[in-house]
Structures are given as C-alpha cells and as structure tokens.
A = this chain, B = another copy of it.
Amino acid sequence: MTLRRLCGIFLLQSLCQSFFTPCDGGNILVLPLEGSHWINMEVMLEGLHGRGHNLTVMRASTSWYIKERPDLYTSITVEVNEDIEVVFSSLISEHVRLQREGGSTISFLKLTMYFLSIQSRAHSLFADGLSRTIEDKNMVKRLIDSKFDLVLTDPAIGSGLLLAKYLKLPVVLNVRWITTGEGHFAIAPSPLSYIPALGSGLTDKMTLFQRIKNFFFLCLAMFPGKFISEPIYEAVCEKYIEGGCDVTSLLQEADIWLFRSDFVFDFPRPTMPNVVYIGGFQCKPANPLQQELEEFVQSAGEHGVIIMTLGTFVDSLPKEVAEEIASVFAKMPQKVIWRHKGERPSTLGNNTLIVDWMPQKDLLGHPQTKVFVAHGGTNGIQEAIYYGVPVLGIPLFFDQFDNLVRLQARGAGKILQLADINGHNFEVALKEVLLQDSYRENMQRLSRLHRDQPITPMDKAIFWVEYVMRHKGAAHLRTEAYKMSWFSYYSVDVVLFLLTVVTVLLLSVMVLLRSLCCRNRRKLKDKQN
C-alpha cells in the first residue's frame, strides 16, 4: 500500500510540474544576495524563466557569484566601491582562523567582533549601491518604465525591500535570515520557551537554564541587526522615502515569504498565513556521475564513499586540521571525495580524491554515498535530507551550527566543533555516523517526510510568485499586527484600563466602607454619650 501511495504522490508531483502551462510571462525585478544565497536564488530564477517570466537581476559591479547570464535574465550592474569576493573571502578566512583558536571568552568576543565587522561592511556596501541606484535618474526611469510586477529579494540584506518600497511594488521574499536574525521573529509570535534563538545551539526542548540562555542569545542575535545593519538602511530610508521607513516594517509589509525551510528540517513553531515553506526547493533527482568519478565511486565496493566539502565560502581548513582529517580518511576502508583547495595534506591516503569542485547533489544522490562531512550550510543540509545521507558536521559560521543542531536532535547527524577537532575525535565521530544504523535510518525517515508533499517546494514557490502577480500583492494574507503599536499589540492599554477600573472600584468600596464604619462609630459614641 505504502509504496503504491508514494508512487502516486511522486507521479502527482511530476505531473503538477508538467501541467503548469507556460504563460506570457510577468516582469520580475530580482535583488539577490551573494554566495550560497545566490546559488539557490539562481535555481528559483531558472524555474521562473521556465514559466516564461522576464527577469531582471540587480548585481554589484564587483559581484563574486552573480555573473551576467543573458540566457536567463537581464542584468542591471550597480557600481560599488569594494571587491565583494575580497570583502567576504578574506574576512571569512580570518573568521575560521579565529574560530580554530578555541573556546575561550576572549576568542568568543574576538569572533563576535569579527562577525560584526563582516556584517557592517557588507550592509554598507549594499546600502551604498542602493543609494547610487536611486540617485541615478536614468536608472530610476528605466526601473519605472520596466513596469515590474513585483520585486523578488533575499532580505538578509535590506536593499531589495527598500527599492520595492521606493518603486511601490509588491514584494516576494526568498528568505530564511533577516537583518535581525531568524526571519520568523519579524512577523510570527515566537515564544522563547520553545523556539531557540540563532546561535544558541538549543533545540525546542529546553530546561529552565537553557531558556535563560536562549533569552540572552536572542538579545545577542538581534544586536547586529538593531545596532549595525538597520541604522544603515534607515539612513537610506530617511533620505529617499517619504515619511521614512524601517527594515522590520518593510518585512512585515512583504506579500509572500518563500521560506527556505520546512518542519521536517526545522522545529515546529507558530507561523503566518503568508509564509510558504519551500525548504529544499533546489533539490532534484540526481544525475549520473561522469564516467571517471563513477568508476572511482564504484571502486569503493561495499564500503561506499564519504564526501566532504565546507561550502561556498571556505576553500580550505587550517593546515593542521586538514592533516589530521586526511590521516583519518587514509585509515578508512571507504573511498573519500574531498573538496579542498588548500595545500595538499602530506598524510593523504590513496583512497582520497581531492577535488576543486564536486557535483555535490549527484554524489549525495548516489547510492554509494554513506556519509556527508559538511559545514552545515542550509543548501547542503537540505540536500542531505532530500537524498537521505547522514551528516558529520563541522560548523564554521552563520546558521551552520543551528542547522546541524536540528539534524543532531533528530539523530541524523553529529557535530564536531572546529576548535576541538583532532584525529582521534574525528575518527570516532566519523565511524559513529558511518557504522551506527540509526543515523542513516533517521536521515532516511526525514527524507521520506520531506519528499511527501502534495506539490514540490519549487512548484509552490512558482505558484505563489505568480499569485502575487495575478492579484497585485497578497495583502489579505497579512495580519493587522504590523500596523499596531507595541502597547496595543500586547494589549498593554487594555490591561491598564482594566486595572484602573478595578482599582477605582476597590477604592470606592474602601471609601464607602470607611465612611459607613465612621458613621457607625460616631453613632455608637453618640449613644454612649
């Protein structure tokens, strides 16, 4: 029964995909973010392009990942002062180096300061690009004349939101993180009692002391947004948008949130009617490997293959860590494919293939792949879930630790901190994930749950983008909450009113009782006299 039903669902999904009829096409202005965020945005753009929509992408002149692709979109290139690759990659290498220094409070503070400096430089760069765009009258005329139906943007930077406000266009977000932390915190009630804050490493089951820790981590997570990025964008708002604006309000006014997560991956929590979960939308059935790689993978026989990559930003690990890891790999009966651009470790075994780039999805979807050693970026983790491959995680920055915590809580992954890694614990952890069946079983359960949706996450994303075009927004899905002052939203005024009424009533009763009492006493005295 189960198999036939699942077949039914998959058949349904693929038919849904093919029966979305092509259409004359809308006109979409896209403001993406660099790096891994662009990798998934590009997949979404390919989907929208396939439906016949015209896409215009705003990119920085020094863009690192966002190249011109006339086959897919028209590019609008905005001059910026700094080289984005240099800003990101140099800062991130430094971040990794500091992280390796270890768990002392001073390291933690240094790391935090470093992280804030990355954020500040990046937001200033994008806000500056936005100002130049608005200052350029020809550019503004071009944008208005293009008659865009909507702005599609990743609000981890605020420029897309601001430009949409300036051009008075509906907004669709391709989102997980915003300038103040996890996206939901801007629009949905988020009880801290079971919703872990960014970076806390907590799950949805917390003791009292973990909940106290969670409170402090929320403050910490919101700090960079409130005091670094938001003021940068608010200055732009004040200058160019009548009446000013702030990033939080702009987020709350967005029409649809295409949220790059789902409740197989994330802990369940309150959500909102205009949040559409598209986690793993970039995943597709794996393609066959190139012959040479396929031969290498098959040569592993029954032991299978381990694959390792640390994502978009990090080419290599500190030398001593790479040496330790290579020596462990060399001892394993498995074959290993390792994306590593740094110096070739001297301890490298014959079973390990070092590559500059790997077809990650196709390898994850290969039945020979047994473990994925990864940094825990959202894209990679969602691909691991889609293909059902357990993860040994080495989180480096951003949301990676939190992502891996979610896998670990479900028994589908294990975390090793970069600061603690040595040959011994890496070997123990790797063998645990490889040899304990529960890791694979749990991950495959997550995979079954994730794949079991009435339509694919990608079709959902496309549907809701087109929905916003058809109805010129989706205002009816936004709550009234965002228009209210905090004291009205939290009913502070109602409570104060009721307290006042109760106090006045109590006082009146007391005064009445007192006057009655006095009168009686007086009468008693009169009688006695």
Contact = CB atoms under 8 A, between A and B. Distances in A.
A189 B479 CA distance: 13
A479 B449 contact: no
Contacts of A141: none
A132 interface: no
A79 to B, nearest CB: 35
A291 interface: no
Contacts of A271: 270-273
A470 interface: yes
A452 B479 contact: no
B454 A463 contact: yes
B16 A480 contact: no
A491 B193 contact: yes
Contact of A16 (B16, B211, B272): B16
Contacts of A21: 4-5, 7-8, 11
Interface in A257-279: 263-264, 267-274
A489 B191 CA distance: 7
Contact of A454 (B15, B189, B459, B498): B459
A479 B204 contact: yes
Quickly give the copy total for this chain.
2
Contacts of A484: 193-194
Nearest to A262: B273
Contacts of A146: none
A477 B263 contact: yes
A466 interface: yes
A357 interface: no
A269 B273 contact: yes
Contact of A476 (B211, B268, B479): B268
Interface residues of A, number: 68
User: Taking each of A26, A493, A494, which has the highest tally of chain B beta carbons within 10 Å of its own beta carbon?
Assistant: A494
A489 B193 contact: yes
A106 interface: no
A204 to B, nearest CB: 5
Interface string A203-236: 0110010011001000000000000000000000
Given A5-B466, A16-B16, A488-B193, A455 B452 contact: no
Given A191-B189, A194-B479, A452-B471, A208 B494 contact: yes
A215 B480 contact: no
Contacts of A268: 272-274, 476-480
Contacts of A452: 467, 470-471
Nearest to A4: B23
A25 to B, nearest CB: 7
A108 interface: no
A466 B5 CA distance: 9
A19 B263 CA distance: 26
Given A2-B470, A8-B21, A208 B497 contact: yes
A128 to B, nearest CB: 36
A7 to B, nearest CB: 7
Interface in A425-477: 448-449, 452, 454-455, 459-460, 463, 466-467, 470-471, 476-477
14 contacts: A4-B21, A4-B23, A7-B21, A8-B20, A9-B463, A16-B454, A193-B484, A194-B479, A205-B480, A215-B498, A264-B476, A268-B272, A448-B471, A455-B455
